[in-house]
Structures are given as C-alpha cells and as structure tokens.
Chain A
C-alpha cells in the first residue's frame, strides 16, 4: 500500500485507535470464553467464565449432534454452487456485452444495470410465490437460483473485459480461432483477478444471506448455517445451554473469519468494489 503520509500519525491518535480495536475484539473474545464453560456454571454466574475450569464439552456436543453439521454442509453446497454459477454466467455475459455485437445489446445492458437498483425487498414476495407455485421450496435450487441474478457480477465482468486490449482477440481471430475459443482459452485466463474478487464476494453473500433462506427453507434439514443459528437463537430466553449456544456462534463464525484471514486482500477489494459501483 503506497501511502500519502510518510510520517506516523500522532501518538494520541494511534493510542485511541488501538484502544478502539481492543474494544472491537472484546465481544468476540467474551463469546469465545463463554463457549468453553460448562452450561450449569454459566447458569449460576456468567462471570465464572473468567476463571477455570474450562471444558470442550460444548464443542463435543456440536460434533455429536448432527443438525449443525447438516446446516454447515448445506451452507457449503449452496455457497459453492452459487459462486460457480455466478462466475460462469457473469463471465459469459460480460464477454458478450463487452465484445460482441448483436441487436439490442446496449438496451439490454442498461436494463441489467437498472437491476442494480432493485432491492431484494421489492422482488422477494413475487419470488416466494413463484417458488411455491413450482413446489421448489426446501430444495438447493431454491437457495441457489435467486443469487445467480445478481447484476453486480455482470457489471464487474463487463468492465473487466472492456479493459482488455482488443488487439488480443483480433490477432486470435486472424489465426482462425472461434469466438468461444477466444473467450475460453485466451480472454478468460486474463480475467482471473476479477474472477477471484467476484467469487469471494459471492461466496460471502451466499453464506451470510438471511431473508430469502429464512422464508424459503422451512424444513429443518434444509436450513443454511446462518438461518439455523438464527433459529436456535429464537428460543434464547428458554435456553439452559448458554455455553452450547456460544459454541455454535463460534462454530458458525469461524469459517468466514478463516476465509477472511486467508483472502483478506481480495475480500476487502470485493466489498469496496461492490459498494462503490
């Protein structure tokens, strides 16, 4: 990262920001230590979390109880399928809009751009009725298909294909390569950075999606991890297993945090790109 200020910011500012960062992390650490405590001890007094004994019992019950694992697998399947689908559709469409000529191309692209301004709330009721009519609720198709329509991917890929010099395809055309071959063998590999950005953005979007899976997946075995954790939270007031609930929170939060740590650069770029469109 190149930087405007060569000199360090004032000490006071650094101290304040460091303090704020510690405050930011405190809720996560609190939940983490609660998850290592015996449920009965927490019922008596949660401040017992600060002192031993700690236990792995809550995590053992997660592994023993199949449901959370089913939800985890659902989230993995749905997120990967949506990511693969968005990458494929957005790359094809991006290439088509950026490079090929066909009647109505400009108008179609403008219509897709307008899609960026349509919030989920405006389509979710009609979509729910369509899936009801097709008896598709509680299937993977219902959880994946709506996410494929996200116009952001097409927008991003079109921009990216446009930025690739036309001389590259023209040289290949002269060599007798087909449109499909130019797309697949020559241009697509050049878009890998955009694919990574879009792929990671879509994965997180799918993993954290809440409203649509909440109304579409009503069968407990079809819940995603996000909706499943939300559902267990609903009877929060009656819960006697505070430690177990917290272990679930850690278990649900950890996958995204680990992916974040591994792909930090791409994730930050993807999120900033999606917002700045």
Chain B
C-alpha cells in the first residue's frame, strides 16, 4: 500500500493527471458511442448514401427534399398529433391519480403499484397485449361489444381510430411516470401550510387550488416537457401495431427514419430526418434544463 500511494504522489505531472484516469474509461466510451456517431450522422445527412457507403456530397439538398416530401411532412404532423393526444391526458390523469393516492395506507400503496406496473413492460409485450384487446376478430373489446349487441370495430385498420388507439395503448403503458413525478412533488409541499389552512376551516377544494397546485406548478411544467420529449420519440408502438398505416396516418418521424434507413437504405436521407428530429428534441431538452435547474430556487 505504501509503495502505491507514494507512487501516486510521486511526480508532479502524474499527480496533476492521475485524476483523469478515473474518468478516462467513461469518456472513451462516451466519445466512441455518442460523439463520433453523432458526427458521422451529421456528415451523412449532407450526402447521398446507401448501404455501400457515401456516393456524393450534396450539401443541404436532403433537408430541402425533406420539407417537400409529403410522407415526411405527414410523419411530422402525425408526431405532433400523437403528442397532442397523449401528453395532456398523461399529465392531467397522472396529477389526479397522485392527488388521490398521496395517502399513507395499504390501499393507496396497492393502487399506486397497480398503476405503475405496466411501465416496466417492454414495448413488444405492451403492443401484443393491446392488439389482443383491439383486434376485431375476437379481441377483448369486440367480445364485450358482442355482449351488448354491437358490431366489432377495426380500431387499428380505420384511419380515424388508429392513432387514438396507439395513444390509448401508450397512456396505459406510461401513466406510472407522471403519477410518480407528481407524488414526489406532493411530498415536498410543506405540511404546516395545510395545518394553517385547516385551522382556518378551508375547504378541501380551496386547499387544492390555493396551496397544492401553486406549490407544484414547476413540476407540472417539468412533467409536460418530459412527456413531450418521450412521446415525440414514438416508434415501437406504431411499428408493431400498424406499421405506419392505414394510409400513412400513424407513421411518426422515428418510424420514417427507421424505414428510410433500414428498409430503403437511403442512409443520408434518413440521417437528415434524424437531425431535424434532434433539433426539435434539443429545444424541448433546453426548456427542461431551464426549468429543472430553477426547480430548487425559492
């Protein structure tokens, strides 16, 4: 031990740089798996490339082509539509569940566990479950509809219903996260505020409006941004449940990138679409950073 510690403090240069050895393994992986692939992607986005490599440098041509490509524009619209369908419901329902289940008792603990359980399943299992709920031939909804004498509906086959069906599946899958984030925030609300309000005989609704909601408003913003970033990256549900159909109505941006890259092997074009997605997510991530770094401010 003594030899090693004296060696570590030996020369000045060694001492100056020895700390870097601790971060070196991670930084090497970080550069190799994130920084270099990011640069390759940016370079690819300005080329015409296929499976066999870069054909030619085309500058920003891929980007101008994207904004004239009806399939891509439809995918952008589909992505925003999906975010609009899911994020408000996830936020409001998550908050409602947290308000009711923020209670120290056995039943509240059991119910919290039930609402979070689906979050731990993989996208493959979630979509398999929901296809068996939604298929018109013998799905759970069709079986229940038959009991009340209704005809089965092809939820995933009808253009107006396909995206809402994927949204329902996603809400079922992801409701645990906003609930847990709101529960954590509710724990931070100072209890003496409620005690003072109780002394004033304030009603439950009054406490909710004047104490609880104002105290957790930063968390509300944070949950909205986190969910926008998450739902913006919709991929597996659409790929597995509808494959983007019917009539391109459920193809989100990530599925567009996947199909352009790995089905049509237009890697340069796919990389350009990926940069557009990256820019959109970066804006939301900056907003998230701004709000989370201010979260602890008075």
Q: B227's closest neighbor in chain A, by CB?
A: A275
Among A93, A102, A124, A256, the residue within 8 A (CB) of B37 is A124
Asked whether, in the complex, the Cβ of B267 is within 8 Å of the Cβ of A117, the reply is no
Known: A46-B143, A47-B138, A260-B117. A227 touches B124 (CB 8 A): yes
Does chain A have a CB within 8 A of B226? yes
Does chain A have a CB within 8 A of B130? yes
Asked whether, in the complex, the Cβ of B277 is within 8 Å of the Cβ of A122, the reply is yes
Q: B277's closest neighbor in chain A, by CB?
A: A121
**Interface 9-residue window, one of A55-63, A142-150, A189-197:** A142-150
Report chain B residues within 8 Å CB of A230. 123-124, 127, 236, 240
Report chain A residues within 8 Å CB of B37. 123-127, 129-130
Asked whether, in the complex, the Cβ of A149 is within 8 Å of the Cβ of B181, the reply is no
Asked whether, in the complex, the Cβ of B121 is within 8 Å of the Cβ of A257, the reply is yes
Asked whether, in the complex, the Cβ of B100 is within 8 Å of the Cβ of A14, the reply is yes
Does chain B have a CB within 8 A of A139? no
Does chain B have a CB within 8 A of A36? no
Q: B116's closest neighbor in chain A, by CB?
A: A268
Does chain B have a CB within 8 A of A3? yes
Report chain B residues within 8 Å CB of A95. 22
Among B4, B41, B102, B127, the residue within 8 A (CB) of A5 is B102
Among B29, B41, B113, the residue within 8 A (CB) of A264 is B113
Known: A8-B103, A178-B4, A249-B128. A271 touches B119 (CB 8 A): yes
Asked whether, in the complex, the Cβ of B226 is within 8 Å of the Cβ of A253, the reply is no
Distance in Å: Cβ of B180 to nearest Cβ of chain A = 5
Among B17, B22, B172, B226: residue with most chain A CB under 10 A:
B22
Distance in Å: Cβ of B95 to nearest Cβ of chain A = 12
Whole-angstrom distance between the alpha carbons of A119 and B235 in the complex? 13
Known: A117-B285, A276-B181. A89 touches B123 (CB 8 A): no
Whole-angstrom distance between the alpha carbons of A226 and B63 in the complex? 34
Whole-angstrom distance between the alpha carbons of A125 and B47 in the complex? 13
Asked whether, in the complex, the Cβ of B275 is within 8 Å of the Cβ of A122, the reply is yes
Distance in Å: Cβ of B110 to nearest Cβ of chain A = 8
Among B101, B122, B127, the residue within 8 A (CB) of A256 is B122
Asked whether, in the complex, the Cβ of B122 is within 8 Å of the Cβ of A210, the reply is yes
Whole-angstrom distance between the alpha carbons of A260 and B125 in the complex? 15
User: Size class of B's contact patch?
Assistant: 35 or more
Among B27, B100, B130, B236, the residue within 8 A (CB) of A17 is B100
Whole-angstrom distance between the alpha carbons of A38 and B51 in the complex? 45
Among B124, B176, B191, B257: residue with most chain A CB under 10 A:
B124
Asked whether, in the complex, the Cβ of B16 is within 8 Å of the Cβ of A125, the reply is no
For the complex, would chain A's binding face be called helix, strand, loop or mixed by DSSP majority? Answer: helix
Q: B7's closest neighbor in chain A, by CB?
A: A178
Among B19, B102, B240, B277, the residue within 8 A (CB) of A96 is B19
Whole-angstrom distance between the alpha carbons of A126 and B233 in the complex? 18
Asked whether, in the complex, the Cβ of A92 is within 8 Å of the Cβ of B113, the reply is no
Whole-angstrom distance between the alpha carbons of A85 and B292 in the complex? 28
Closest 10 CB pairs of A and B: A100-B19, A126-B40, A96-B22, A46-B138, A126-B37, A149-B33, A93-B26, A117-B285, A96-B23, A122-B278
Offer 27 A-B interface pairs, CB within 8 angstroms, sorted by A: A9-B100, A17-B111, A25-B114, A93-B23, A96-B23, A117-B281, A118-B38, A120-B233, A121-B274, A121-B281, A122-B278, A126-B40, A127-B37, A128-B261, A148-B29, A179-B8, A204-B120, A208-B122, A211-B235, A226-B123, A229-B125, A230-B123, A242-B138, A246-B128, A272-B181, A275-B177, A276-B292
Residues of B at under 8 Å CB distance from A? 1-2, 4-5, 8, 16-23, 25-27, 29-30, 32-34, 36-41, 44, 97, 99-105, 107, 111, 113-125, 127-133, 138-140, 143, 146, 172, 175-177, 180-181, 184, 186-187, 189, 191, 194, 204, 212, 222, 226, 229, 233, 235-236, 240, 254, 257-258, 261-262, 267, 270-271, 274-275, 277-278, 281-282, 285-286, 289, 292
Not counting A4-B186, A95-B22, A230-B127, a sample of 12 additional A-B residue pairs whose C-beta atoms are within 8 angstroms of each other reads: A4-B194, A17-B100, A47-B138, A92-B25, A93-B22, A104-B20, A105-B19, A108-B27, A117-B286, A230-B124, A230-B236, A257-B117
